[in-house]
Amino acid sequence: MEWSNEMSLEFLKLYEQEPSIWNPKNPDHKNRNLVNDAWVRINNTLSFSSTIQELKKKKDSLMASFRPLLSKVKSSMKTGSGVDDVYKPNWFAFETMAKFLVSVYQPRPTISTQVSFIIISYYYYIHKHVQALVQTQTYITTPV
């Protein structure tokens, strides 16, 4: 099937409305039946004739073009680079896809291993000293 830019953009707008397909944080993302239903909805809504297999193939093709461009944009946003230095892709579908997919490609917040080590060490230090205090403490009990 030959896809025009207009057909691709129409598909992407419908694809965006089905986060169960593209958003791994969506609770329905792992439910195959709901994801398949989303593909059927997209296929039934398109103004042109296609199969779900063709739609999935087109999605893979679009994503294969999108990911390297997004990576290039992110790498151009180094500390110290000005607004004019940030790479701006000319590809017709980039802005449409970036609008809803950029959040999927954001790394999760992490804690550095050095900070983790310090926190864990501090926890064990406090725990050890509290244990020592408890063991050496003499408790006064009152007769009942």
pLDDT tens for each residue of 101-121: 998 887 666 666 665 666 666
pLDDT, tens only, 14-66: 999 999 999 999 999 999 999 999 999 999 999 999 999 999 999 999 999 99
Q: What share of the chain is helix, strand, coil (3-state, %, to 5)?
A: 65, 0, 35
Closest by Cα among 23, 9, 27, 15 to 105: 23
